[in-house]
Amino acid sequence: MAGHSKWANIQHRKGRQDKLRSKLFSKLAKEITVAAKMGDPDPDKNPRLRLAVKEAKSQSVPKDVIERAIKKSQGGDAENYDEIRYEGYGPGGVAVIVEAMTDNKNRTASTVRSTFSKNGGNLGETGSVGFMFERKGQVTYPAEVGDADTVMMAAIEAGAEDCESSEDGHIITCADTDLNAVSTALEAELGESESTKLIWQPTTTTELDLEGMTKLMKLIDALEDDDDIQNVTANFEASDEVMAQL
C-alpha cells in the first residue's frame, strides 16, 4: 500500500489534478449513494455511510455534492450497483486487487480483463491473490499534526494496531471492523484526518525495477481511469532510486 501511495503522488505531479479530482469526486459520491441506499441515510446511524462522508470531506468534496449523493439514494430512480472485486497479476508478477461498483457486470468484467491483457497482466479468479493481503482500516494525518510519539500515543489509546510516521505524515492502521471507532477517537484527539478508509494491506511484496514500475503504472492508470473502478491496490515495492527516476 505504501507503494501505491507513491503512485498516487506521481499521478498528482503529472499535472492531471483536475481530471483526477473530478473522477475522485464521482467515485466518492457513488460510494456515498451505495452506502446510504444499503443502510440508513443518516450517517450517525450508518457506519459505512459515516466513513464514506468523512472520506469525501477529507478530499474536499463540496457539501452539496455529498447531500445530493445521499438524496439520490432515496429516490426511486437510483441506480443499482453491484460491488465486485477482481484479482490478478500485473507486470513482474505483482498482485493486483481491483474494487468496482457497476450497473453492468458484463461490461466491467470485459473492460477489466482487456485492460489487464493490454498492459502485461493477467486477470485471475477470485481468491487468486487475495491471500497476499489483509483487510485493514487506515487513517492518515499530515506531519504537522504532531510528532511521532504524540500521534503514536493517540493511536494506541484509540485502539489502533500500528502507526508509521515520516516527514510525509502519519499512517495509522487498525482492524477493518474498528475503523469507525478508531477514526472517531483519533478525530477527538488530533482533529480531522486527511483520509479515513478501508484498504488492502499486502502481507508480502514484489520488488520491481524501473521497467517493471513503468509497465505497472500504465496498468494502474488505465484501471483507475475507468469510472466503474473504485480502488486499485498492488503489492509492489520499488527502491528510492527507481521512484526518483520515475
What is the per-residue pLDDT for 52? 93
pLDDT (tens digit, 0 to 9) for every residue of the chain, 246 residues total? Answer: 445 555 455 544 554 567 778 888 999 999 999 999 988 999 989 989 999 999 999 888 999 999 999 998 887 666 788 999 999 999 999 999 999 999 999 999 999 999 999 999 999 998 999 999 999 999 999 999 999 999 999 999 999 999 999 999 999 999 999 999 999 999 999 998 999 999 999 999 999 999 999 999 999 999 999 999 999 999 999 888 888 887
Domains of the chain by start residue, with CATH: 2-73 (1.10.10.200)
What is the per-residue pLDDT for 73? 87
Q: What is the pTM of this model?
A: 0.84
Residues 110-128: pLDDT tens digits?
A: 999 999 999 999 999 989 9
What is the per-residue pLDDT for 239? 86
Q: Whole-angstrom distance between the N-terminal and C-terminal Cα of the chain?
A: 18
DSSP per position, the chain: -HHHHHHHHHHHHTT-HHHHHHHHHHHHHHHHHHHHHHS-SSGGG-HHHHHHHHHHHHTT--HHHHHHHHHHHTSTTPPP-EEEEEEEE-GGG-EEEEEEEES-HHHHHHHHHHHHHHTT-EE--TTTTGGGEEEEEEEEE-GGG--HHHHHHHHHHHT-SEEEEETTEEEEEEEGGGHHHHHHHHHHHH-S-SEEEEEEEESS-EE--HHHHHHHHHHHHHHHTSTTEEEEEE-EE--HHHHHH-
What is the per-residue pLDDT for 164? 94
Mark 131-154 as b/e (b = at least 16 C-beta within 10 Å): ebbeebbbbbbeeebbeeeebbeb
